[in-house]
Amino acid sequence: MQLCSIIFDVKSKAKLLNILYIFKESFIQAFSELRNNKMRTFLSLLGIMIGIFCIISIQAAVDS
């Protein structure tokens, strides 16, 4: 029983470390792409800001 729980703990820790490694590599790749494509990043953020501004403006106009 004790050996089984130790093996399970080792396997679950290995899976957790693998998942954390995948997340770390994903974030590194994402920030690298953001850094390499500055214009696309800027235009995407600008589009999101304009969209949010439009939604808030329409909601304010409807409520008043």
Q: pLDDT tens digit string along 4-40?
A: 665 566 677 788 888 889 999 999 999 999 999 999 9
At 64 the three-state DSSP class reads coil
Which pLDDT does position 12 carry in this prediction?
Answer: 79
> Which one has a higher pLDDT value, 3 or 25?
25
d(CA 30, CA 27): 5
pLDDT at 16: 82
Per DSSP (E only), the strands in 8-57 are: none
Express each pLDDT in 36-61 by its tens digit. Answer: 999 999 999 999 999 999 999 999 99
Query: Is the model's pTM score more than 0.75?
Result: no
Structure tokens at 26: 């994903």
Contact by Cβ (8 Å): 16, 9: no
